[in-house]
Amino acid sequence: MMMLELDGCLLKSTVIVPALALVSAAHRVADWRATAPPGVWPADALAADDGGRTVSTAHPSLDVQLPGGGWPLGALIELLQPAPDAPVWPLVLPALAARQHSAGGALALVGSPHEPFVPALMAAGVRADAVLWLRADAPSARLWLAEQALACADVAAVLAWLPRARSADLRRLHLAAARRGEGLLFALRPAEAAVSASPAPLRVQVDAEDGTPVPTLRLHLLKRRGPPLAEPVLLGRCAPLRDVLAASAAGQGVSDADRAPPWAARAGLDVVRPEVGDAVVRLAVAA
């Protein structure tokens, strides 16, 4: 039996193709793939890339799990976080920078929980002169801003923190993104929203992995155009930060032992061993 899922965030339905028609000839599956109308794909595979309208996440382990090999353009991408200021930038920053470089345009941050620190964004490749911080508290104002920003040709990507968005609001945003066609839209919502339905074709729950010495992001792909993914995708930090953290973790035994004396004694402590840290680390530590 072959199950086909219709592409439809608005109309989510499953069509079961009569088993007899396909079970006799396995090679006809290949025919199906070739002739299937756009938006229809075998349920055991990722949806086909419809014309390269994705942008790579710059995390190969995540790219292989996403239809089209990256974040979809012109669609709502939902990221669910335990807290509004929980780690999410390493996940989205490379794609934002790549998008900004390839298409140009501004990066709109709607209702961010804190003030974004632009030098850090610049270090990831985002153009500082194209960051727009849109401040609004009311949920309706945030939605309106996100929708209007999507309609703007000079906005390459929208990051919207929508703690109280309803499904109908998200659908409107998704349609606005689809109308625009080439924008990158991330909606950041609380983790509790994972149980409720959403029109987003891609939903990712972002958690911090506990217990690892180097903080890692654990991604649950709650929804994608493809088969469900049981095990989470693990994502490391960006390079210089990761090295610092690794170096610090390597020296952890020493630092734990030396915790008792206060900071004054700590200043001389060799937390980052020179043989571990690269040039950047040494710079960071010595700066």
Partner 1 sequence: MLWFALPWPLEKASAQPAQDEPGDPPACDPLGWWALRLTPHVTRLGDALLLEVSGSLRLWGGAAALQRRIFEENPALASANIAQAAIGIIALAHLRLRRDGRGVPAGGVAALPLSVLDAARLHLPLLERLGLRTWGDAHALPRAPMVRRFGPGLRAALDVAFGLVPERYPWLVLPERFDEALELPAHAESAPALLWSANRLLAALQAWLRARQQGVLAFELGWTLDQKRLNGRALPPAQSLRIRTAEPAQSMDHLRRLLAERLARTSLLAPAIGLRLHAVQTAPWQPGNAALLPGEQRRGEPLHVFIERANARLGPGSVRRPVLRADHRPEQRQRWEVVDEKNHPHPKPLPPAGEGATDHAPADALAPTWLLHPPQPLEVRGGLPWRGGAALRLLTRPCRVETGWWAEGAPASDAAGEAVARDYFMAQGAAQELLWVYRERPTSRTPASAAPRWFLHGIYA
- What residues from 144 to 183 belong to the interface with partner 1 (CB under 8 A)? 144-145, 148-155, 180-182
For residue 74, the minimal CB distance to partner 1 (Å) is 10
Among 17, 48, 122, 191, binds partner 1 (CB under 8 A): 122
User: How near is the Cβ of 274 to partner 1 at its closest, in Å?
Assistant: 12
> Do 158 and 150 touch, CB atoms closer than 8 A?
yes
Q: What is the bridge-based pairing of β-strands 216-223 and 202-209?
A: antiparallel
Q: Give the nearer residue to partner 1 in terms of CB position, either 21 or 280.
A: 280
User: Residue from 55, 62, 73, 100 that binds partner 1 (CB under 8 A)?
Assistant: 100
- CB-based burial of residue 93 (10 Å sphere; 0-12 exposed, 13-18 middle, 19+ buried)? buried
Q: Is 269 a binder of partner 1 (CB under 8 A)? A: yes
Are the C-beta atoms of 50 and 38 separated by less than 8 Å? yes
Least Å distance between CB 101 and partner 1?
5
Q: Give the Cα separation of 42 and 98 in Å (integer).
A: 31
15 binds partner 1 per the rule CB under 8 A:
no
Q: Which of 17, 22, 46, 141 binds partner 1 (CB under 8 A)?
A: 141
Instruction: By CB under 8 A, tell whether 114 contacts partner 1.
Output: yes
For 104-129, letters b (16+ CB in 10 Å) and e give: ebbbbbbbbeeeeeeeebeeeebbee
Among 110, 116, 138, 140, smallest CA distance to 128 is for 116
Q: How far is the CB of 106 from partner 1 (least distance, A)?
A: 7
**Contacts to partner 1 from residues 68-87, by CB under 8 A:** 85-87
Site for partner 1 in 208-247 (CB under 8 A): 208-210, 215, 238-241, 244-245
Which of 37, 228, 253, 262 is in the footprint of partner 1 by CB under 8 A?
A: 262
Residue pair 228/216 in contact by the 8 Å Cβ criterion? no
Tokens of 253: 């035994």
